[in-house]
Amino acid sequence: MQFPFLSVIVFTPLAAALVILLYKAEWKKAVRWTALAAGLFALALSVWVYIAYDKGAAGYQFIEKYDWMPMFGISLHFGVDGMSVPLVLLTGIVMVTGVMISWGIEDRPREFFAFLFILASGVFGVFASLDLFMLFFFYEIAVFPMYLLIAIWGWIKTREYAAMKLTLYLFIGSVVSLVGALVMYWTAAQQTGALTFDMLALETVKFAPEFQKIWFLPVFLGFAILGGLFPFHNWSPDGHVAAPTAVSMFHAGVLMKLGAFAALRVGIMLLPEGAKFWAPLIMSLALVNIVYGAFIASVQTDFKYVIGFSSVSHMGLVAMGFATLNADGMTGAGVQMFSHGVMTALFFAAVGMVYDRAHTREIPKLGGMVKPLPLVAIGVIVGSLVSMGMPGFSGFIAEFPIFRGIWDTKLWWMAIVAAISIVITAAYVLRVVLKVFFGDMPAELEGHITPIKPLDKIALVLLMALMIGIGILPALMVPWVETGVKHILSLLGGA
Amino acid sequence: MTWIIWLLPLPPLLAFFVIILFTNKNKALSHGIAVGAAGLSWLGSMVVFITAIGTEEFGKHIFESAINWLPTGNTWLQIGVRIDPLGAVTLFFAAWTIFMIFIYSIGYQNFGQPKGDHDRPGLPPHGATVEEHGKKHTVPSIEPMYSRFFAFLGLFAFGMYVLVVSNNLLTMFVGWEIMGLCSYLLIGFWYGKPSARNAAVKAFMTTRIGDVFMLLGIAFLYSATGSLTFTDIFKPEVLEALAAAKTPILGLSAAGLIGLLLFIGTVGKSAQWPLHVWLPDAMEGPTPVSAMIHAATMVSAGVYAAIRMFPLISLDPATMSIVAFIGAFTALFAATIAVAQNDIKRVLAYSTISQLGFMIAALGVGAYVAAAFHLVTHAFFKALLFLGSGSVIHGMEHGALHTGDHADVQDMFNMGGLRKKMPITFWTFLIGGFALSGFPVLTAGFWSKDEILADAFGHGHMAVFVTLAVAAFFTAFYTMRQITLTFFGEPRTKAAEHASETPWTMTLPLVILAVFAAGFGWVGIPEHFPALGGIVPNWFHEFVGSTLAEHPEAVEFSWIPLATSLFVALGGLGLGWLVYRNVKSPKQDFLQIPVLKNKWYFDEAYNFLFVKPAYWIAEKFTSLFMDRWLIDGILHGAARFSLFLGHFFRNYIDKPVVNELIGDGTGNLVKASGSGLRKIQAGRIQYYMVVSMVVLVIFAVLYYFLIGGM
């Protein structure tokens, strides 16, 4: 039997969380090292899975299946395709870098890392699940610790409000999707006579077009809430801002991808006819996301809100790419999920580093950070270039195909409007960079900005290297995503 | 041969990394690496250029090679290098000007001077106090971020080389964007100055607007043809198909729309109206950067791209008319602003916009060879003029520091009489200025500008011809105004009185560029030109003209454009001399007209029309109204409503009905029946009930869906 890579990846964080919880609260060092070791282990395995994924064979690989509740057709069923394998990798990266930059957490690190890792297990689980029920199961596992992490370790001013808002939004979203999923389950059982949550089987069930048209919307939108789709994006910037740094990284870096990914996996892939019917609506909403997020980001004075709303804007590009339903757009969206995940993780890490030292995130009160924090400045500049789709960086590899995809749908004006929003992105990002890093340093900060730690540096360099690496050698990621897209296109009827 | 072309962009890039990562502390080593890298690329370019002009029928036997880069479905998007005749001449001028600018920067950034007394990174050096012969005085001090400057210049050069050697739109766009980024970094080099920060953002943003349209054009082109390689997209059958396809936008053909979108990129990069506003502000950067942006690389890249895309742009007459209009209008419009500027670099900035307008207009009337010719000559004389103005400023700074004079060293009214103090700078600037004015026969600018006028006339574009002629007259006039105010007459300030010639690292590039500014025109003398025509073959036309399969016709010779060109050049120069030889202060200058001085109020208008409304929409509408008021409002409303419901249930149903009637009622009943169970209820029963109700409902639902379905 093949080594069960995916189950080990999924359950490593959970096991580490349990181990950590057994420690004494004072064993802070042991907690950190255990977390880092577990993170590195999971990352190493996900790198292996990524490399070993056979692009030639395509399809779902590393499949494992263990019956759990056979009477309901529920099984622990893992497998990755070209769409999810980069996301598994992304989760590993964000997990490790998140641990690295949270090294200095002194307030109950045991519980913090335990919750963070339960969250990570949930995220891995969603990306790797091929069972609809398990997908929901892991989804809830991912959402629940978020509440605690924000409410306990978050920014004191808004943490309770933000945690509540986020949790309500996400649970409502998942309930709406769940209803749709259960209806699919039930209908499929009626059609085929077999009760199963197996998504591979559900893919082959041809739901009636009318059925698909009705149920696509709740399923897709329910998940899209977590993907930050307008007008359900509102929880996300508040949540980002209130969350502690590592949680923001997870939140924007992978949690929002969870929504987009599940919307793709359950919405578009299982209900392709519905997707075709509703695509123009989704594209319009996503377009609003792109422009709207960019506009709001440009007037925020809180550094973290700027990044939070820029995530709303960039996740709009993901939704846009998926909704084009063509090869270019979806490939771009797939790469964008990874690229944006790395980029925002870096942004939030950088914001956290600045905030920890300056004790403010108000942009007008910051300045001159380039001198004490040169690597953070470089990191933010690289992130900015990614966010504005500069060629040579991963953002371009993602955005260019998305624009091509939009253009191919003949909705040209959408391509133009979306492209112009990139200009707005450039505007606000550059202003922030100039002010925070190159402006005059306020007198009260002079001498208070200590250099960052070696682990922080490793995290920043790793994230930067990924964005530049994919930008220069897109063949490191694009072929994976393309195999996934090919499968989706076949479900969509070879469109 | 192609391996050299692949390697051309690399030395400056390596220099960038080496300086940033390793040699940042050592100034001499840093500039050694940067200049050495520029020299290597220059050498390679010359080898390529000489091989190219030695190749028989080079237009048919170009250098090209490609590799796979971006996987797209079943095929790969290839990237590669290509040098054809147009690429070869562009490479020629880019290599020369870049190399000269690198050498010049050593002197300009005060290498060998002491460290400043109060200098800090992000601000221009303020000077250092030294003791000589027991007397203290102030001398220029070295730039605090000296090494970083050379690193950025290296990256900039890399961008330009990538653009020139690209055989496809994608890597060309990469080079294009790298230059945009570098312009941002270098214009904002002295980031301690708010004006420099703003100028950097403005330059980046404005060109970025052009860039996204260009990107859309590239996306459209790729969708339509499945390739971005020049060889593929310029195949006759591909072009025909593009010209035949219709689009719903403005009734343009696909070719016209793609051409227009790509052209908007050029409008941004080459600072054409209406996206011209960034270029004059870009003067905030150190002067070698201005030369880099204005002559050697960035703006030239815009025109180069437009010439490159000529086969596509020229397919749709509507697009061509737009191109011609924008070019001619910009040429005249910018020239009118230039006459009223007092800052020596700003005059040159507007002249750059105007001259680029000439090239774009030439392209619009179909004379792409003339456009390329003017591109090359302009690169030489404009690099010369910028470096010359930098030399003037440098000399003035020296005088200002020496005498403690705080006059603005860039204001031409503070200069005067510099021809005696700075003879090399004067003579080279004069050559550059005359080339810009189109001084007959002796200067390169004459030949290229004359060719544009002749083409506009010969192809019957009278409006373009007249507009350009008037613009050319203004050009000669403001150039002479500049030369007169700067170099002639008597020094008007102490700083000017004590100005001194700059070191050889600065004057040597001036002399070399002056040779090209004067001599390069001789490679492009029209065959039928009176007296001189035919003595030297019109090599430029032959060579660059072979870029396209269809060789462009040389226009028939006519006396009208030639006479016009002679008249405007000499008339403008003469008038400029006559008017300004006695002007001593701005008060005597009759051209200090507010509307011209304020650049026709374009900055203000854009601010009012675009920037402010955008902020208003972003802040008031999107952020405060939509996000915080409407969406959050609905959300909070819902939350408050459910709280209200909760209170309502609790206070009006739960407490009176459930609690008292059922709960307590039951309790009372139980109490009445027996006191043994009294402790159980204690107000908790409703809680258990709710829980069990919920459990029941869930089980019911699950049963219905799961079991019931079996």
In this structure, the answer to whether residues B437 and B573 fall within a common structural domain is yes
Interface of B with A in 172-191 (CB under 8 A): 173-174, 177-178, 181, 184, 188, 191
3-class DSSP assignment, residue A79: strand
Please compute the mean of the pLDDT values over residues B466-490 and round it to a whole number.
88
A326 touches A495 (CB < 8 A): yes
DSSP letters, B232-246, are HHTSHHHHHHHHH-B
CB atoms B200 and A478 under 8 Å: no
Mutate to test the interface with B, among A187, A409, A416, A423 (most CBs of B within 10 A): A423
Per residue in B80-120, pLDDT tens? 888 888 888 899 989 999 998 898 888 888 877 777 777 77
Length of chain A: 495
CA distances from A327 to A217, A253, A489 (A): 22, 24, 7
Residues of chain B with pLDDT > 70, as a percent, come to 89
pTM of this prediction?
A: 0.80
**Same domain assignment for residues B584 and B469:** yes
pLDDT by residue (tens digit) across B109-146? 887 777 777 777 777 777 777 777 777 777 777 887 88
- For residue A26, the distance in angstroms to the closest alpha carbon of chain B comes to 38
Hey, is the C-beta of B611 within 8 angstroms of any chain A C-beta?
no
Q: Which residue has the higher pLDDT, A405 or B645?
A: A405
Nearest C-alpha in A relative to B174 = A391
State how far the Cα of A482 lies from the Cα of A330, in Å rounded to an integer: 9
- What contacts B681, CB < 8 A, 6 or more positions away? B663, B664, B666, B667, B670
pLDDT band at B700 (very low <50, low <70, confident <90, very high): low
Q: Is the peptide bond before A13 cis (omega within 30 degrees of 0)?
A: no
Question: How close, in Å, is residue B192 to chain A by CA atoms?
Answer: 7
How confident is residue B710, by pLDDT bands cut at 50, 70 and 90?
Answer: very low
Query: Which has more pLDDT, B531 or A389?
Result: A389
Q: How many CB atoms lie under 10 A from the CB of residue B671?
A: 14
- What residues of B are in contact with residue A371 (Cβ under 8 Å)? 121
Residues B349 and B479 in one domain: yes
Residues in A closer than 8 angstroms to B705, CB to CB, are 182, 185-186
Find the range with the poorest average confidence among A253-257, B179-183, B692-696.
B692-696
Please say if the pLDDT value at position B499 is more than 90. Answer: no
Read off the tokens for A422: 């990139």
* Strand bridging mode B128-132 / B135-139: antiparallel
Average predicted confidence (pLDDT) for chain B? 80
Helical axes A454-472 vs A327-358, angle rounded to 10°: 160
B253 within domain boundaries:
no
B618 and A299: CB-CB below 8 Å?
yes
Dig out the tokens for A483 from the structure.
Answer: 């195999």
Residues B209, A420: C-beta atoms closer than 8 Å: yes
Residues B526 and B560 in one domain: yes
- In terms of Cβ atoms closer than 10 Å to its own Cβ (0-12, 13-18, 19+), residue A402 is buried
Count of other CB atoms within 10 angstroms of residue B158: 25
Between residues 622 and 651 of chain B, which touch chain A (CB distance below 8 Å)?
622-623, 626-627, 631-632, 635
| Residue type at position A118 | I
Chain A residues touching residue B186 (CB < 8 angstroms):
none
Query: pLDDT-derived band of residue B685, with 50, 70 and 90 as boundaries?
Result: very low
Query: What is d(CA B328, CA B469) in angstroms, rounded to the nearest whole number?
Result: 10
Q: What is the mean pLDDT of chain A?
A: 86
Q: What is the pLDDT of residues A65-82, one digit of tens each?
A: 888 888 888 888 898 988
pLDDT digits (tens, 9 = 90+) for A327-371: 889 999 999 999 999 999 999 999 888 888 888 888 888 888 888
Can you tell me the distance from the alpha carbon of A329 to that of A319, in angstroms, rounded to the nearest whole number?
Answer: 10
Say yes or no: B466 and B330 in one domain: yes
Look-up: residue for tokens 């507009």?
A: B467
Closest partner CB to A426 (pick from B68, B204, B623): B204
Task: Return the SS3 of A362.
Answer: strand
pLDDT the model gives residue A121: 92
| Chain B: closest CA distance from residue A94 (Å) | 26
Three-class secondary structure of residue B140 per DSSP = coil
Closest residue, chain B, to A404 (C-alpha): B219
B677 belongs to a structural domain:
yes
User: Taking CB atoms and an 8 Å limit, are A440 and B192 in contact across chains?
Assistant: yes
Residue A50 has pLDDT above 60, yes or no: yes
Question: What pLDDT score does B683 carry?
Answer: 43
Q: Which residues of A touch B706 (CB under 8 A)?
A: 72, 195
Which amino acid, A294? A
Share of chain A above pLDDT 70, in %: 99
Is B10 in the A-facing interface, judged by CB distances under 8 Å? no
Q: Which residues span the domain enclosing B658?
A: 618-707
CA distance to partner chain A, nearest, from residue B635 (Å)? 9
pLDDT at position A221 over 90 = no
CA A184 from centroid of its chain's CA atoms: 26
Asked if B284 is an interface residue toward chain A (Cβ–Cβ < 8 A), one would say no
B650 and B519 together in one domain: no
Q: What are phi and psi of A468, to 5 degrees?
A: -75, -40
Tell whether B591 and B631 lie within a shared domain: no
The nearest CA of chain A is from the CA of B626 a distance in Å of 10
Of the candidates B450, B468, B466, the one whose C-alpha atom is nearest the C-alpha of residue B528 is B450
Is the Cα dihedral A482, A485, A489, A495 positive or negative? negative
Q: Give pLDDT tens digits for A187-215.
A: 888 888 778 888 888 888 888 888 888 88
CB contact under 8 A, A299 and B626: no
Q: Do A186 and B208 touch (CB under 8 A)?
A: no
How far, in Å, CA of B444 to CA of B385, rounded?
14
By Cβ distance, the residue of B72, B170, B631 closest to A234 is: B631
What's residue B676's pLDDT? 45
Residue to test with chain B: of A168, A434, A489, most B Cβ within 10 A: A434
Q: How far is CA B118 from CA B115, B126, B128, B533, in A?
A: 9, 7, 8, 60
**Predicted-complex ipTM score:** 0.72
**CA–CA gap between residue B415 and residue B474 (Å, rounded):** 22
Residues of A with Cβ-Cβ distance to B200 under 8 angstroms: 430, 434
Choose, out of B627, B628, B697, B707, the residue to mutate when testing the contact with A (most A CBs < 10 Å).
B627
Residues B576 and B689 placed together within one structural domain of the fold: no
Q: What is the mean pLDDT of residues A463-483?
A: 89
Residue range A463-474: mean pLDDT, rounded:
90
Quote the DSSP letter at residue A106.
-
Of all residues in chain B, the one with the smallest CA distance to A419 is: B212
- Verify that B548 and B631 share a domain, yes or no: no
Enter the tokens of residue B578.
């006559």
Convert the pLDDT of each residue in A104-155 to its tens digit: 888 888 888 888 899 999 999 999 999 988 898 898 888 888 888 888 888 8
* Better pLDDT: B709 or B69: B69
CA distance B81 to chain A (A): 16
Q: pLDDT category, B73, cuts 50, 70, 90?
A: low
Total CB pairs under 8 A between chain A and B:
122
Nearest residue on chain A to B122, judged by CA atoms? A438
What would the pLDDT profile of B540-599 be if each residue is shown by its tens digit?
A: 777 777 777 666 666 777 788 888 888 888 888 888 888 878 877 777 777 777 777 777
Partner-chain contact B208 A423, CB within 8 Å? yes
| Residue from B423, B393, B640 nearest B514 by CA | B423
Contact state of B619 with A299 under an 8 Å Cβ cutoff: yes
User: By the CB < 8 Å criterion, does B222 face chain A?
Assistant: yes
Nearest chain B residue to A438 by CA distance is B191
Determine whether the interchain pair A475/B70 forms a contact, defined as Cβ–Cβ distance below 8 Å: yes
Taking residue B559's Cβ as centre, other Cβ atoms within 10 Å add up to 8
Dist CA A322 CA B659 (whole Å): 53
Among chain B residues, CA nearest to A397: B70
Residues 6+ positions from B501 with CB-CB distance below 8 Å = B395, B421, B422, B423, B424, B425, B507
Check pLDDT > 80 for residue B432: yes
- Give the mutation candidate from A230, A234, A441 for the B interface (greatest B CB count, under 10 A): A234
Task: Write out the two tokens for A382.
Answer: 């690289």
Overall number of domains in chain A:
1
Q: Of A356, A279, A291, whose CA–CA distance to A319 is shortest?
A: A279
Beta B135-139 vs A61-69: how paired, if at all? unpaired
Who contacts B361 (Cβ-Cβ below 8 Å, separation ≥6)?
B323, B324, B327, B328, B331, B452, B456, B464, B467, B468
- pLDDT tens sequence across A260-274: 999 998 888 888 888
The average pLDDT across A150-170 equals 82
Q: Tell me the residue range of the domain where A327 lies.
A: 5-491
Q: How many domains are contained in chain B?
A: 3
Q: Do B197 and A434 lie within an 8 Å CB cutoff? A: yes
Shortest distance, CA A24 to any CA of chain B (angstroms): 36
Task: Identify whether B272 is part of a domain.
Answer: no
List, for residues B245-262, the tens digit of each pLDDT value: 877 777 778 888 888 888
Highest mean pLDDT among A334-338, B25-29, B46-50, B310-314: A334-338
Phi, psi of A282 (to 5 degrees): -60, -40
Asked if B373 is an interface residue toward chain A (Cβ–Cβ < 8 A), one would say no
Which amino acid is residue A359, in one-letter code?
Answer: H
Structure tokens at A416: 């133009």
Contact flag A404-B222 (C-beta cutoff 8 Å): yes
A431: which chain B residues are within 8 Å (Cβ-Cβ)? Answer: 201
Q: Which of A377, A393, A381, A374 shows the shortest CA–CA distance to A465?
A: A393
B590 with B627, same domain: the answer is: no
Confidence of residue A293 (pLDDT cuts 50, 70, 90): confident
Let me know if residue B45 belongs to a domain. no
Task: Tell me whether the omega of the peptide bond preceding residue A231 falls within 30 degrees of 0, making it cis.
Answer: yes
Closest CB to B71 among A185, A424, A478: A478
Please check whether residues B581 and B626 belong to one and the same domain. Answer: no
Same-domain check for residues B691 and B645: yes
